[in-house]
Each structure stands twice: as C-alpha cells, then as structure tokens.
Amino acid sequence: MVDFFLSHLQHERRLSPHTIKSYKLDLEQLHTFLNGIDPSQISTEDLRAWVVSLSEDGLENRSINRKLASARAFFTFLQRKKIISQNPADLIKSLKTPKPLPVFLEERNTQDLFEQLEFTEDFEGLRDKLLLELLYGTGIRLSELISIQVKDLENDRVKVLGKRSKYRIIPLHRTLQDLIKRYLELHPKNDTHLLLTDKGEALYPVFVQRKVKHYLQQISTLTKTSPHVLRHTFATHLLNRGADLNAIKELLGHANLSATQIYTHNSIQKLKEVFQKAHPKA
C-alpha cells in the first residue's frame, strides 16, 4: 500500500524526490512502531500512541507534525481508494509550534555583498555574482534557480517553474539585466541551463548552498546562511519599502497570503525599533 501511495506522489502529484523520501521514512517509522500491522487496521489510538512516543523521544513538535502530516496524507489516499472507510488521523490535532521569524540580511549587508566583495569578470566570477543576484533580486527558491534555462529569460523578466508545476513571471532590475548580458557572453552555447558549475554542468543544490554560505559568511554574522535567507531578505526588504503584500505573494509564488504574512512580523519589529529611537516617550 505504501509503495502504491509513493507512486501516486511521484507520478500524479509530481512531488520532488526529497519530499517523497521523507514520506517514505515517516511511514516506515510508523510501520515499525506498530509492529507491522496492516494499515487498514490502524486506529486513532495507535496514531496517538505513536505521537506520544515521538514526543517522549525528544522530537520537536514541528518534526512530529510533519510525520503526522505524512500519515494523514497516506490514510486520506487509502480512504479515496476505498481501502478504509475512515481516516484515523482526522481526530488527531497537530501539536502547537512556535513560529520562527524569517532570517534575513540587513540592507547594509546586501550592499556589502554586491558592492564590497570582489567578483572576477571570468565565467566563474560572473556566475557566482549572478547566482546571488538572482536569489536576492527575484526571491526565487533554490530549486527554481537551478531549473532556469536560457530560454526562460526575456529582456526584463524571467519565467520560473515553481511548486505545483506552476510558472510565474518575475521582473528583473536593471543591474541584474546587465549582469546577465555579460554572463551570457561567456556562457557555453550548447547548454540550455542558465547557471552551470565550473565543469559546465547543471547546478545542483549543494553547489549553490556552498556558494551562498561562502559569500554570506564574509558580510554577515548570521548563523543561518542558506539560499533561503536571500529569499527572506528579498521579501522583507520589499515590505519594509512599502510593497503591497499581495504583490509580494505573487512574486514569491505562494499559494495563499497566510504564507506571506509571516514577513509582516519582521516589518513590525523594524517599526518598533524606529519608534524606540524616535518617539519622545519611548
């Protein structure tokens, strides 16, 4: 049953291999905990005992909720296939979790990143700077960055393939346009991918992560230096400068506004700092 479900995730829902692997591991863990009983025989009490066991093992609520979501999706699938009549996970509520604020760079840090650091004018140097400029200048995800092809560029915009296999168009600022033009002059014409490794191959996640970490550590003291930090920075800076929240939602490719609203917390924090410094009564 699990293999059937995983095949559904891959071929019908088109989830990433990494996500499918997570589902597989979660369901295998549940299977082991319940001593291999048939999924159709699993009850709400069984799932509740599993959640309690995970909590007693010291697993964070956020991780437990992710595992519970995997189980819930699996039983929903079985219910739709008429294998079970009721979803045993329906009566189990997700555990409460604190919502961490997105980690982002201050504007002075981004200025240092692109103005103080030196990038060579050869292929590798221009590639590194373009990689960083695209992440910060468009707010795209790591997976979206890797998938960009030369044909996706069109003057002052780029077409990006996001989650749920949906395309969106993102404008490119003038500096980014000029950088792309210089980079393409050195780009191998026989490859369709925009960004390539030093060996001329398509980028892969670890390569991008290492590059971003290398440069962010030179201009910031943040402990988190992933590509997603630049996505958070893009959204936060737009909001701080008065951009409409719905517009930011569309640029980020969020399915609903609630995912974008987390950036308002950073904006409110900035307003508090301004208030503390400027108000006579503060």
Q: Is 117 helix (H, G, I), strand (E, B) or coil?
A: coil
Residue, of 263 and 204, whose pLDDT is higher: 204
Mean pLDDT of 5-13: 90
Please say whether the beta carbons of 195 and 146 come within 8 A: yes
User: Mean pLDDT across the stretch 72-87?
Assistant: 93
Q: Do the bridges between strand 153-154 and strand 167-171 make them parallel or antiparallel, or are there none, so unpaired?
A: unpaired
pLDDT category of residue 192 using cuts at 50, 70 and 90: very high
Residues taking part in catalysis: 141, 163, 228, 231, 254, 263
pLDDT at 165 over 90: no
Tens of pLDDT along 224-267? 999 999 999 999 999 988 899 999 999 999 989 988 988 887 66
Residue type, 217: Q
- Determine the pLDDT at residue 238: 93
**pLDDT reported for residue 275:** 67
**What integer is the mean pLDDT of 175-193?**
93
Phi, then psi, of 269 in degrees rounded to 5: -60, -40
pLDDT digits (tens, 9 = 90+) for 261-270: 888 876 666 6
- 58 pLDDT higher than 80: yes
DSSP result, 181-225 = HHHHTTS-TT--BSSB-TTSPBP-HHHHHHHHHHHHHHH---S--
Listed in sequence order, the DSSP H helices in 81-122 are 107-111
Q: Measured between alpha carbons, how far is 99 from 119 in angstroms, rounded to an integer?
A: 37
Average pLDDT across the chain, whole number: 91
Confidence band for 63, pLDDT divided at 50, 70 and 90: very high
Q: Which domains does the chain have, with CATH numbers?
A: 2-80 (1.10.150), 107-277 (1.10.443.10)
Compute the half-sphere exposure of residue 145: CA atoms within 13 Å on the CB side of its CA: 29
Place 282 in a pLDDT band, splitting at 50, 70 and 90.
low
To the nearest whole percent, how much of the chain has pLDDT over 90? 75
Coil vs helix vs strand at 167: strand
Instruction: Give 3-state DSSP helix, strand, coil % of the chain, rounded to 5.
Output: 60, 5, 35
Token pair belonging to 281: 């009564």
State the pLDDT at residue 263. Answer: 85
pLDDT score, position 281? 67
Report CA torsion sign: 186, 191, 192, 197.
Answer: negative
Using the predicted structure, report yes or no on whether residue 74 has a pLDDT greater than 80: yes
Of the ranges 37-41, 117-121, 141-145, 260-264, which one carries the lowest mean pLDDT score? 260-264
pLDDT tens, position by position, 150-163: 999 998 999 999 98
**What is the model's pLDDT at position 71?**
94
